[in-house]
């Protein structure tokens, strides 16, 4: 596999010398996400495979091109999981793409996001240098934490070669409940339950219906069911349901309207915006299918202390990500230059000047 790294490094060095942009790409399942796609494709799938997996250390290290499905299958075989339930958005999803996209699924509300599970990365920077940060152990504060910020960097900082992730056990038991609640009441109850020691691991509200997933010890689930009430969903149906939320194959996500991702404080009241909403993460994540103009949506999100991303849309001229305040944007530009002095990696995918 070392020769693959050398090939990638060579490619990067010549692209840097020629100032020709490179587009880092795995299975292309997240091509829709982000701003522009510029440059020649560098396919990360040649560097593939699980490097090390130690179930008793709760750590797995995999190469960027490893299919996400293969990684998850290996974990499930040993009773472990990627607790942040990353969306695949297609059979081709790779581990590197998952990290670069930085997206998390339904269990994020209880378990944490991709970045919370990153222990270390090995990467090629814009000079083609092979660098390792973090490591394969659970706690590590040697040097700055350069690994976690790779999550969600959309390939703008470098080519992620390998990542080490913390992999917790699968829950002993799960149950899914269904309740009828209007939006304001659902948000209120989600926050109320959030303050109680209840094993809620996922939620999805849309169209007057709230679905809740409980995960943990069987006894804890039984106790929580008493508190929450609602109707129990059949196991197979529940699995399909959460899969459809995670992969956005649920009918809600098939809307023709632009799909916005609103990340808000969980207590934010229902936003009076035109369109349909689906709420996850205990009230912190609100999907909005809406034709309202970008400014209205961004202002509504900002007003309650959140931000709005134009997640899926044909027309992205309004900007995919919320613009950064000037001082923070300056830090971004300097970091980008530190990792990628020639500015070749996934130029413009996140912000026009990164």
45 vs 300, beta carbon nearer another protein: 300
Tokens of 247: 């992969």
Residue 16 dihedral angles phi and psi, to the nearest 5°: -65, -45
CB of 229 to another protein, least distance (A): 17
Segment holding 296, helix H or strand E: helix 294-303
242 vs 351, beta carbon nearer another protein: 351
CB of 45 to another protein, least distance (A): 25
CB of 35 to another protein, least distance (A): 12
CB of 284 to another protein, least distance (A): 5
12 vs 264, beta carbon nearer another protein: 264
Rounded to 5, what percent of the chain is helix, strand, coil?
35, 25, 40
CB of 279 to another protein, least distance (A): 13
152 vs 275, beta carbon nearer another protein: 152
23 vs 148, beta carbon nearer another protein: 148
Coil, helix or strand at residue 212: strand
Give 292-298 contacts, CB < 8 A, sequence gap 24+.
Answer: 293/318, 294/318, 294/319, 297/260, 297/262, 297/273, 298/322
Tokens of 146: 């350069």
DSSP string, 63-86: ETTSBHHHHHHHHHHTTB--TT--
CB of 123 to another protein, least distance (A): 10
22 vs 111, beta carbon nearer another protein: 111
For the chain, give the number of residues. Answer: 354
Contact (Cβ atoms closer than 8 angstroms) between residue 306 and residue 273 = no
CB of 137 to another protein, least distance (A): 4
Q: Which residue has the tokens 């070669």?
A: 161
Nearest in space to 341 (alpha carbons), one of 4, 19, 77, 11: 19
Contacts for 56 with CB less than 8 Å, ≥ 6 apart: none
Contacts for 256 with CB less than 8 Å, ≥ 6 apart: none
Coil, helix or strand at residue 293: coil
CB of 194 to another protein, least distance (A): 6
170 vs 292, beta carbon nearer another protein: 170
Coil, helix or strand at residue 324: coil
Angstrom distance (rounded) from CA 248 to CA 101: 15
45 vs 61, beta carbon nearer another protein: 61
131 vs 228, beta carbon nearer another protein: 131
CB of 301 to another protein, least distance (A): 9
């Amino acid at each position: 596999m070392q020769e693959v790294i050398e090939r990638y490094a060579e490619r990067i060095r010549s692209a840097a010398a020629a100032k020709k942009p490179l587009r880092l790409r795995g299975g292309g399942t997240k091509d829709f996400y982000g701003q522009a796609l510029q440059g020649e494709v560098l396919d990360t799938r040649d560097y593939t495979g699980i490097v090390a997996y130690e179930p008793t250390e709760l750590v797995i290290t995999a190469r960027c091109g490893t299919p996400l499905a293969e990684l998850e299958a290996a974990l499930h075989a040993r009773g472990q999981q990627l607790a942040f339930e990353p969306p695949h958005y297609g059979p081709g999803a790779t581990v590197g793409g998952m990290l670069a996209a930085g997206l998390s699924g339904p269990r994020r509300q209880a378990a944490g996001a991709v970045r919370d599970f990153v222990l270390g990365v090995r990467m090629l920077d814009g000079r083609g240098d092979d660098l390792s940060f973090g490591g394969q152990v659970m706690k590590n504060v040697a040097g700055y934490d350069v690994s976690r910020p790779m999550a969600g960097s959309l390939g703008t900082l470098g080519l992620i070669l390998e990542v080490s992730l913390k992999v917790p056990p699968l829950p002993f038991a799960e149950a899914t409940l269904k309740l009828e609640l209007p939006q304001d009441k659902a948000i209120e109850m989600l926050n109320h339950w959030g303050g109680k020691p209840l094993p809620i691991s996922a939620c999805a509200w849309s169209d007057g219906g709230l679905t809740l997933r409980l995960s943990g010890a069987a006894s804890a689930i039984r106790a929580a069911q008493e508190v929450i009430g609602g109707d129990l969903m059949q196991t197979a149906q529940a699995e399909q349901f959460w899969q459809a939320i995670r992969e956005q194959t649920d009918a809600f996500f098939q809307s023709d309207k632009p799909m916005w991702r609103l990340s808000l404080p969980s207590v934010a009241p229902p936003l009076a915006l035109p369109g349909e909403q689906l709420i996850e993460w205990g009230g912190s994540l609100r999907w909005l299918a809406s034709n309202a103009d970008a400014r209205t949506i961004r202002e509504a999100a900002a007003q309650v202390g959140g931000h709005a991303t134009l997640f899926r849309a044909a027309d992205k001229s309004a900007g995919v990500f919320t613009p950064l305040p000037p001082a923070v944007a300056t830090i971004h530009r300097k970091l980008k230059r530190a990792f990628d002095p020639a500015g070749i990696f996934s130029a413009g995918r996140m912000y026009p000047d990164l």
